[in-house]
């Protein structure tokens, strides 16, 4: 008899056997959904509105910038230097934007100075809760470009031109997220 039931299950359900999708607790579960007793009232029914979070796992590669993010995870700030003309980039480039030659990696000092700043009163979703916050461009002697980062430890409600030229020191998140925000600066 078990063999006959097994053979039937391979062919599909027969009359009297129930087939149902498994019930789970994930996703949206609604209870007591309003429904009119008279079907002629369906057109007047209010729309059902559901707020449903949406998430995907986005897989991407840092490619040529991988050493920069590995450096941040190891509390090192890396830039690049052109192998031909010597132009230096605080924000790394694989090839020189001036002459097109390949660049090599080097470690930037962790103390620099504020070149300029802005106070951000609006930000993307990730930073909106932190507004207002201060963004700075950090400069180093002998480095041709600037590095964009956040400045913590300065009162964003009382910005001051005295911040220009102020010495700042790099700090790193204890748990790296492999994001540019893994590094930030504080007054030195």
- In the chain, what are the domain boundaries? 63-187
pLDDT at 62: 85
Q: 88-89 and 167-172: which strand pairing? A: unpaired
3-state secondary structure 77-146: CEEEEECCCCCEECCCCCECCCCCCEEEEEECCCEEEEEEEEEECCCCHHHHCCCCEEEEEEECCCCCCC
Residue 10, SS3 per DSSP: helix
Helix (H) or strand (E) holding 72: helix 66-73
Q: ∠ CA(75), CA(79), CA(83), 5° rounding?
A: 140
Rounded mean pLDDT of 79-87?
98
CA atoms within 13 A on the CB side of 32: 0
pLDDT value for 10: 55
Instruction: Place 12 in a pLDDT band, splitting at 50, 70 and 90.
Output: low
Mean pLDDT, the chain, rounded, equals: 88
Residue-level pLDDT at 120: 96
Residue 49's pLDDT band, with cuts at 50, 70 and 90, is confident
Q: Report the alpha-carbon distance of residue 74 to residue 173 in Å, rounded.
A: 10
């Amino acid at each position: 008899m078990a063999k006959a039931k097994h053979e039937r299950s391979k062919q599909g359900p027969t009359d009297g056997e129930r087939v149902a999708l498994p019930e789970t607790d994930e996703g949206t579960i609604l209870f007591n959904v309003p429904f009119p007793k008279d079907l002629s009232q369906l057109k007047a029914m209010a729309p059902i509105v559901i707020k449903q979070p949406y998430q995907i796992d986005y897989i991407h590669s840092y490619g040529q910038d991988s050493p920069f993010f590995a450096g941040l995870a190891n509390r090192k700030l890396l830039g690049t230097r052109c192998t031909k003309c010597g132009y230096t980039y605080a924000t790394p480039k694989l090839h020189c934007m001036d002459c097109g030659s390949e660049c090599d990696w080097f470690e930037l000092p962790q103390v620099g100075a504020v070149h300029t700043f802005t106070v951000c009163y609006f930000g993307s979703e990730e930073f909106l809760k932190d507004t207002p916050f201060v963004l700075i461009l950090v400069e180093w002697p002998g480095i041709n470009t600037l590095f964009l980062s956040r400045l913590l430890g300065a009162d964003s409600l009382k910005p001051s031109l005295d911040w220009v030229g102020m010495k700042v020191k790099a700090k790193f998140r204890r748990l790296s997220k492999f994001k540019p925000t893994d590094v930030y600066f504080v007054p030195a």
